Amino acid sequence: MAAAASFLFAVHPLLTEAVSWVSGGPYSQSAFFFLLSFLLYILAKSKPRLIWISVVSFTFAVLSSEKALSLFLVFILFELSFGEFKRNWKKMLPYLSLGALLAVVLFAKISYRMKSVQAMSYDAGGMDNPLLQIPSAFGRFSKLLIWPYQLTLYETFSDFRWSGYFLDVFLLLAILGAIIYGYRKNKKIFFWFSFTVASLLPILTPFRLGWWAAERYIYIGSLGFFVLVAMLFSRWLEHEKLKKFAWSIFIFIILALSARTIARNFEWKNEDTLWEATAKYSEKEQKSHNNMGEVYARQGDMEKSVEEFKIAIEINPRYGDAYYNLAKTLNQMGKTSEAIENYNKAVQFNPGLWQAYYNMGMIFAGQERYNEAKVQFQKVLDLEPENADAKINLEKINSILQEEK
């Protein structure tokens, strides 16, 4: 059973993001420290001193990714399932205390984190409806674990459909039903379903602290699903008549998942291949169109580039980065007046985008509109006092203006 679960974990394409993407690395790193902590906790039954190494490892897990915070619940679930909760509750206090302390620290940063996310995504703010978010997240992860077809870097809630929502609600109720059934009848089922749910708790909040769902979020929680699948196969293997069938199905699944993982790794080959793959399944995500605009610009197809940036702006009229990229492309096409208009839009929604001021300064300087160019380069230096290029250009313009006097 352990080998089967390990094979599934090793080849499942849903886990590619946490491994192939540098920014997703903390999730796999956190998973390593947590699993080490959990193993040491179990071994501490015979070697009590290991408990403190386990606590240290759990600390590293949370420091690697704050989303590992809820995993302190796994120790409680383990004792409820396989241990002696009343006898061992003191052993869990360090994890509970550490989890509570870090939860307070992270909660204090929620406001800052929300503003940061809103600034990066040009989101107008607000909170998500948990009655829609939670079933949708569980439904999405369940579908991707069963068959990871539409893998994308950007999971967007804009594709919400009531027909799909009711299926998601059914899946969530099925999971909760399995947990209740498992607690009464089969503690292994209870533990591993609860393990997956516990790992996802940090993202199931109404606060917009990140994506409503993302492949990397399920990295550690997928273990629960894989163990449950392995349990099913091991039950089949107990029956002589089902052995060949079980092995055939398992080998087919491993080969199919391996093939999808290889294909997914090719999609992560470079920036262009990733954005092209993402655009297939995230058509209503603003960043997807903004990224494709940059892809077309690098490929020299300026018309398509402009089209993609405009779609991104249509999705989110406050999207400063898209205005900036559109302006840059229009400038390359020689449409300087339109470029200036969009640069101004960019800094309207992102006043810290000094590159827009710099590029406007270069356009004005090229048109010999030196006073306007001077204003733009000065704005750059207000934001970036050590910007050498802006300093040099400003000195040149001051020199020209001085000569004109």
pLDDT, tens only, 46-83? 898 899 999 999 999 988 988 888 888 999 999 999 87
pLDDT of residue 115: 59
The mean per-residue pLDDT over the stretch 171-176 comes to 93
Tell me the pLDDT band of 117, cut-offs 50, 70 and 90: low
pLDDT in tens, 252-303: 999 999 999 999 999 999 999 999 999 998 888 899 999 999 999 999 999 9
Reading phi first (left if > 0) and then psi (alpha if -120 to 50, else beta), residue 122 is in left
CA distances from residue 349 to 151, 155, 307 in whole angstroms, order as listed: 31, 24, 20
- Res 156 pLDDT > 90: no
Instruction: Report which of residues 264 and 112 the model is more confident about.
Output: 264
Rounded to whole angstroms, how far apart are CA atoms 262 and 21? 15
Tell me the pLDDT band of 245, cut-offs 50, 70 and 90: confident
pLDDT of residue 387: 93
The whole-model pTM stands at 0.85
pLDDT of residue 113: 58
Other CB atoms within a 10 A radius of the CB of residue 109 amount to 12
Q: Which two tokens stand for residue 191?
A: 């533990």
Rounded to whole angstroms, how far apart are CA atoms 382 and 394? 12
Other CB atoms within a 10 A radius of the CB of residue 322 amount to 29
- Res 150 pLDDT > 90: no
- Res 100 pLDDT > 90: no
Cβ neighbors of 287 (< 8 A, separation 6 or more) are 121, 154, 312
- Res 85 pLDDT > 90: no
